[in-house]
Amino acid sequence: MEPKMQPKLLVVSGPSGVGKGTLLRRVFAESGFPLMMSVSATTRKPRLGEINGVHYQFLSAEEFETKRKAGEFLECFEVFGKGTWYGTLRRTVEEGLVAGNWVVLEIDIKGARTVKEQFPDAVLLFIEPKNIDVLKERLLGRGTETEEAMRRRLATALEELEHAHEFEHRIVNDDLDIAVRQFIDIIKSKV
């Protein structure tokens, strides 16, 4: 069945290392919904294998600031303390919705709150780990960050977990198959 309905914004938050990327790839492949990933802009440097315009729009601090001042962002924040900006471009979201897509934003909880203020019928999902040890292991195992960056990510993760209750939908990413099914069931319940 190809669902025909009013497209919505799906806002997915959760601590770094919780497995949002893997979960979303499965949901995109299996939901049967016209989902579109919103490509955010960031001032962080690309990781190995990341492609500009696909994973992020990688901007210099100056370019980001120019767009921010021009009001091009639906929301934007310095996610891990000072210095690294991330933001959702209004145009990306608007074009996605107009084209009939359910636009998926993978953003932090401050961004999620801001989007909800502007799009009250946005669906907010929080992905959480089974426990904090699992998260630490995943973050360490990834090996993409410096020790200092890791420390900041972990501190932010702990802080975010304290706000999980603000989200209308919470999914524990322990068994991936179950998490994927729960995610798809939530989308279906919004049609």
Select the residue interacting with ligand 5GP from 75, 104, 124, 179 (CB under 6 A).
75
CB 11 within 8 A of CB 116: yes
Distance CA 40, CA 91 (A): 11
CB of 144 to ligand 5GP, least distance (A): 8
Q: Is 108 in the site for ligand 5GP (CB under 6 A)?
A: yes
Q: Which span (3-11, 103-111, 120-128, 164-172) binds ligand 5GP, by CB under 6 A?
A: 103-111
CB of 1 to ligand 5GP, least distance (A): 31
Q: Is 16 in the site for ligand 5GP (CB under 6 A)?
A: yes
Where b means 16+ CB within 10 Å and e means fewer, 121-141 reads: ebbbbbbbbeeeeebeebbee
Distance CA 26, CA 31 (A): 8
Specify the residue, 88 or 182, whose C-beta has the smaller distance to ligand 5GP: 88
Select the residue interacting with ligand 5GP from 11, 37, 87, 167 (CB under 6 A).
87
HSE at residue 129, side-chain half, CA atoms within 13 A, is 20
Contacts of residue 6, Cβ cutoff 8 Å, sequence gap at least 6: none
Identity at 41, one-letter amino acid code: A
Hey, which residues between 27 and 66 contact ligand 5GP (CB under 6 A)? 40, 44
Task: Give the footprint of ligand 5GP on this chain (CB under 6 A).
Answer: 13, 16, 40, 44, 75, 77, 79, 86-88, 106-108, 110-111
